[in-house]
Amino acid sequence: MSNKLLTDDQLEQLDGFLMSPRTPGETMDIEMLDGFLVALAIGPEEVPEDEWLPAIFAGTPPEFEDRAEADEIFGLIRQHAASIKAAFSVNRRDNPGENPLYVPVILSDEDQDEKWQETSGVYWASGFYAGIEARAEAWDALLEANDELDSAVEKILALAASEGDDADQSPSDEVGAEPVKLLSIKERQERVSELPWHIEDVMYYVLEEKFGKVEQVVREEPKVGRNDPCHCGSGKKYKKCHGA
């Protein structure tokens, strides 16, 4: 199984199938799937494929044209999961650079939704929350034991709250005791741009609780400017791609 990052074309192909009429209505899109797989990769317990793969489709198998299509789609999902797991592997953590270990897939609907900035990162954070829920007891134990971890997770899950949500149903309420404060568009943009480093904070705090104090990379500020080329290799500016 390859652990290379999916290309833009592969991401679009996978998202197109996930959002097609042949999948259940509650199926994750590529952004939510990305957040889900990241939470599984950095979480306190291993989640087997036979558990997480059906969860992508809300437990209902999608309709495939044939076995070849099924193999192709499942192959893309498995490759995406493997690439995320590889991004947070021990050898990557032990050889840090200025670039983040992983840049989340955040979709930009600028051409279809003029209000896309108000919900940027919502689906990613919702997927991350779904990944936490897959091992809720283990996460709860760590969150109760480590206030810094709890704060780092809250920063991510705050993206899941948007206008129109019921306050008591927001994922971030499940973690923090304080009521959720909706992010302004500027705050949301900044939070999305900082997301790679919030993810790494969570990863290191989880490792600390599992194995004791671990050496953590301290970065005073994100190293990726919004006008810099995106690290995913698309050639687009960060603000127009994963930083959108």
CB 102 within 8 A of CB 38: yes
pLDDT of residue 226: 45
pLDDT of residue 244: 44
pLDDT of residue 170: 46
Task: Indicate the helix (H) or strand (E) that contains 84.
Answer: helix 67-87
Q: Which residues of 168-207 are buried (b: 16+ CB within 10 A; e: fewer)?
A: eebbbbbbbeeebeebeeeebbebbbbbbbbbbbbbbbbb
Q: Percentage of residues in the chain with pLDDT exceeding 70?
A: 75
Sign of CA dihedral 215, 130, 13, 242: negative
Note the pLDDT tens digit of each residue in 159-198: 998 765 544 444 544 554 445 578 998 999 999 999 999 9
HSE value, Cβ hemisphere, 13 Å, CA-based, for 90: 2
Q: Percentage of residues in the chain with pLDDT exceeding 90?
A: 63
Tell me: pLDDT of 53 over 90.
Answer: yes
pTM beyond cutoff 0.85: no
Q: Which one, of 25, 30, 135, lies nearest residue 77 by Cα?
A: 30
Note the pLDDT tens digit of each residue in 3-23: 899 999 999 999 999 999 999
Write down all domains in the chain, each with its CATH number in brackets.
Answer: 8-211 (1.20.120.740), 218-243 (no CATH)
